[in-house]
Homo-oligomer: A and B are copies of this chain.
Amino acid sequence: MKLDHIAVAVRDLEEAITHLRDALGMETVHTEEVPGQKARIGFIPLGNTNLELVQPTDPASGLAKFIEQRGEGLHHICLEVRDIQGSLKHCEEKGLALIDREPRVGAHNKRVAFLHPRSTKGILVELCQP
């Protein structure tokens, strides 16, 4: 298991990219629209992992509500797994709360699935299979 990325909810993707790139000397490599998550994302490499900036494209989405209630900030972490179906089965057997029972398409066309933060110490966890 490894950390594929850590995601930050932002109101304005371009502004956030410019700000963080300038402030922290980071480089951007990739932006894309992810309809399955109702979001636009930007990936900034961090050396051993990535920072994902996520801007909601639908004001009714969970992400938009997150920003409304808590402001911009850390949103979720994404763990890369080898077998996402097997991992979801394992998580279910361990009593974790699944948001997605079946993988869906996420950024970079990877198969992704989310675990609910209520059974992971308040951490919204995304699993992804490369």
Q: Which residues of A contact B (CB under 8 A)?
A: 1-3, 6, 8-10, 16, 19-20, 22-26, 46-49, 53, 70-77, 79, 90-91, 94-96, 117, 119-125
Nearest CB on B from A47, distance (A): 3
Q: Which residues of B contact A23 (CB under 8 A)?
A: 91, 94-96, 119-120
**Does B73 lie within 8 Å of A19, measured CB to CB?**
no
**Does A77 lie within 8 Å of B6, measured CB to CB?**
yes
Q: Which residues of B contact A90 (CB under 8 A)?
A: 25
Nearest CB on B from A71, distance (A): 5
Determine which of B19, B74, B94 lies in contact with A74 in the assembled complex, contact meaning CB atoms within 8 Å.
B74
User: What are 5 A-B pairs with beta-carbon distances under 8 A?
Assistant: A3-B3, A3-B46, A23-B119, A73-B123, A74-B74
The answer for the CA separation of A124 and B96 in the assembled complex, in Å, is 28
**Does A1 lie within 8 Å of B96, measured CB to CB?**
no
The answer for the CA separation of A71 and B120 in the assembled complex, in Å, is 12
Nearest CB on B from A77, distance (A): 6
Q: Which residues of B contact A9 (CB under 8 A)?
A: 122
The answer for the CA separation of A77 and B95 in the assembled complex, in Å, is 28
